[in-house]
Amino acid sequence: MFSSLRHQTTFTRFFLNNHVSDFLLPRSRSRAAATVTTTVKPNETTQSGQPTEQAQTIDGQPSSSSANSESQKTDPGRWGGKNAWKLGFLSLGCSAVFGFGFVVALWGKSSFCSDISSIKDPVSEKLLPDPVQPPYYQPPYTLVLEINDILVHPDWKFRTGWRFKKRPALELFLQQLSPYYEVVAFTNESAMTGGPVLMQLDPQGQFIHYRLFREATRYKNGKHIKDLSCLNRDLSRVILIDWDKEAASLQPRNALIIKRWSGNESDRELIDLAAFLRMLAMGHVDDIRDVLEYYKEFDDPLALFRERHEQLMEEEAKRREEYAKAAAKRPRPRFSFSGMTRS
């Protein structure tokens, strides 16, 4: 290793000494131009009969050719002499970088990819335990609910900080659906944020059976997506209630997208949603996705359901009224001690 490092240092020093002038800017000349004094006497000869040599001086200094030759002999170069330690450190650093890159490419690639996949993928392929078997009761359907802007609305103020406003009729909503659905709270928030909120909504865990947070989502294209295939449940009996279409992009047929609640106190969406979900559960639908697919054609499915539900209630009221009128027109039998008589 040290011999190869020595050869690398020698080669790098040779390369830099020979090509350093190609990368350096030309030095600026002094303000006073160099004067060249040449003394030439063409007919003058020495006593021995030989002509005198031409004397050239530059400001009293030797000629440039002789100066350059002397400087090349004495100058050790930019990377030699006292600066040789810099070249050694440079070569050592390059060797360390190449060695580290080789080790990462050879052994660290798979572990790095696995770390990335562990961040993007859910914590487990089975986010929920297996359904319970008799004599225990397992609800026939699974209801997945987003917390923010479906059940509660986060509100921030300078004096109080973050507070969560509970949606009107939330307790009634959970009480009516818990016998028919296995309720799962699935949010994009972290457990540190969503856990205390759910603890306040259902301290005993009577209505919300399971709680899933951000680490259970699948991160894709900068979005946290809820992968319902990891719930360990039959997707034909799973409903996702959310306001964000991107959160249900992997299983869009299982999603019922409703309006986002902004904290309005007069909101009654949960009452209509509870009636809609209760109607689906009591209908014993084999594949709930077919029903959801029909309601997705409308901008506000709950408003459509409310309108049709009111029409059905009116028709039922008219039918009862007609039945009561018809029953009133029928003659009533009279009873006596001798027997039943008709008047």
Give the N- to C-terminal CA distance of the chain in Å, as an integer: 124
The pLDDT tens digits of the residues spanning 281-310 come to 998 989 999 999 988 888 888 888 888 878
Strands 238-242 and 141-145: parallel
Does the pLDDT of residue 65 top 70, yes or no? no
pLDDT at 138: 93
Separation CA 170–CA 270 (nearest Å):
7
Q: Which of 19-33, 108-122, 235-249 is most confident?
A: 235-249
Closest CA to 83 of 11, 17, 7: 17
Three-state secondary structure call for residue 51: strand
pLDDT at 250: 93
pLDDT at 29: 45
pLDDT at 74: 54
pLDDT at 312: 83
Separation CA 326–CA 305 (nearest Å):
31
Strands 210-212 and 181-186: parallel
Q: What is the mean pLDDT of residues 177-196?
A: 93
Q: What is the mean pLDDT of residues 250-275?
A: 93
Q: What is the mean pLDDT of residues 124-141?
A: 92
pLDDT at 289: 94
Burial class (CB in 10 A: 0-12, 13-18, 19+), 219: middle
| Structure token pair of residue 65 | 């050719």
DSSP 322: H
pLDDT at 187: 94
Name the residue with higher pLDDT: 150 or 158.
150
DSSP 221: T
Separation CA 78–CA 89 (nearest Å):
15
With both helix axes pointing from N to C terminus, report the angle between 170-177 and 269-282 in degrees, rounded to the nearest 10: 0
pLDDT at 36: 42
pLDDT at 28: 46
Q: What is the mean pLDDT of residues 241-245?
A: 94
Location of structure tokens 């457990």: 191
Q: What is the mean pLDDT of residues 31-59?
A: 44
Does the pLDDT of residue 118 top 80, yes or no? no
Looking at every residue in the chain, the average pLDDT score rounds to 77
* Structural domains of the chain in order of their starting residue, each with its CATH number: 141-324 (3.40.50.1000)
Separation CA 159–CA 226 (nearest Å):
34
The pLDDT tens digits of the residues spanning 218-227 come to 998 888 999 9
Q: Are 305 and 272 in contact (CB under 8 A)?
A: yes
